[in-house]
Amino acid sequence: MDQVAAWDNLLLAWRKAALGKRCNRGAAAFEHQVADRLLALRARLLNGAWRPGGYVHFEIHEPKRRRISAAPFADRVVHHALCNLLEPLFERRFIPDSFANRVGKGTHRAVDRLQAFAKRYRCVLRLDIVKHFPSIDHAILLDIIGREVRDPGVMDLVARIIASGDGVLEQEYAIVWFPGDDLLAACRPRGLPIGNLTSQFWSNCYLHPLDLFIKRELGCRGYLRYVDDMALFADSKSELWDWKQAVVERLAALRLTVHSGSAQVAPVTTGIPWLGFVVYPTHRRLKSRKAVAATRRLSQRFDAWQRGAISFSEFDATVQGWINPVRYADSWGLREHVLKRFVW
């Protein structure tokens, strides 16, 4: 616990939490007398008095409705301080082909890796977990983390942060009964708030045993994961169907399920939906709904600029913000089609 609460670690955590958010009211208030606030935070961490604050909730609707939970700024400093300590410990254990929320990984490298596998293998099995963050079981998560973290004070801090998410996504979760459950299973604490730095990290920790199972026990060399989206590659369809059943059973031990409708084995030549793209062995396309949403969004911003509601630089930032990710697809014709309305 001394390492989490060390002055240098808290100072680094504050800088990370404040990055790009200096104009935010909570960040600005914390920065006023920051040394005093960090010392007070350090004291509460060391004497065990620190408790998470309440979340502020809001919803986003692109690409689908999600409930986002924002922790108080001081809590985000604690989250960064904890992750500064734990991430290097777990990073050494994570498989290379887990791409979410890790330094040097990310969406585009996940797409590159998927396409590399599509060039090497004939068939693919895509799996995604039903309501991943609302379904994460606290007892199982604490057991997984506790296998690596031996400091009781750090584990107590981990448990408090995890417990703060209990019930935050309760409306998103429909009870699922697993073999051996009794009526008390409905009362198991579960759920991680979407938006927390720690939630993203806990997610990777939670699914790490599954990654090892697929790579080592099943022997799947063509496997990658991005948060709760997984892809398994092989040349044999029957082998992939067998692996699907094994993965579903292993996920049940984590109290998770997959979307059965989309969990199908298919030839890679039919295209693989993946992180907003449809990936083929030879090329990539942007998902059609992404193009429709972009056209609507850019039209709204263009109309706002013409009315004088926003500046041209703000409109241009929206355009560049769309072009930057779609350039990773074979999308020259799409970009020309979408943007031609805004050429004058």
Question: With contact defined as beta carbons under 8 Å apart, do 90 and 217 qualify?
Answer: no
Residue among 65, 80, 117 at smallest CA distance from 233: 117
Inform me whether the pLDDT recorded for 63 exceeds 70. Answer: no
Q: Which residues pair with 272 in a beta bridge?
A: 279
Inform me whether the pLDDT recorded for 344 exceeds 80. Answer: no
3-class DSSP state for residue 3?
Answer: coil
Question: What is the value of pTM for the model shown?
Answer: 0.88
Over residues 6-49, the pLDDT tens digits come to 999 999 999 999 998 877 888 889 998 999 999 999 999 999 99
Dihedral, CA atoms, 313, 315, 321, 323, nearest 10 degrees?
-110
3-class DSSP state for residue 33?
Answer: coil
Q: Which residues pair with 283 in a beta bridge?
A: none
pLDDT band at 327 (very low <50, low <70, confident <90, very high): confident
Residue among 156, 92, 165, 160 at smallest CA distance from 134: 165
pLDDT given for residue 121 in this prediction: 98
pLDDT band at 62 (very low <50, low <70, confident <90, very high): low
User: C-alpha distances in angstroms, 83 versus 188, 253, 330?
Assistant: 25, 26, 37
Instruction: Name the percent of the chain lying above pLDDT 90.
Output: 67
Average pLDDT over residues 154-181: 91
* Mean pLDDT estimate for the chain: 91
Average pLDDT over residues 39-63: 89
Inform me whether the pLDDT recorded for 230 exceeds 90. Answer: yes
pLDDT given for residue 172 in this prediction: 85
The larger pLDDT score, comparing residue 296 to residue 68, is at 68
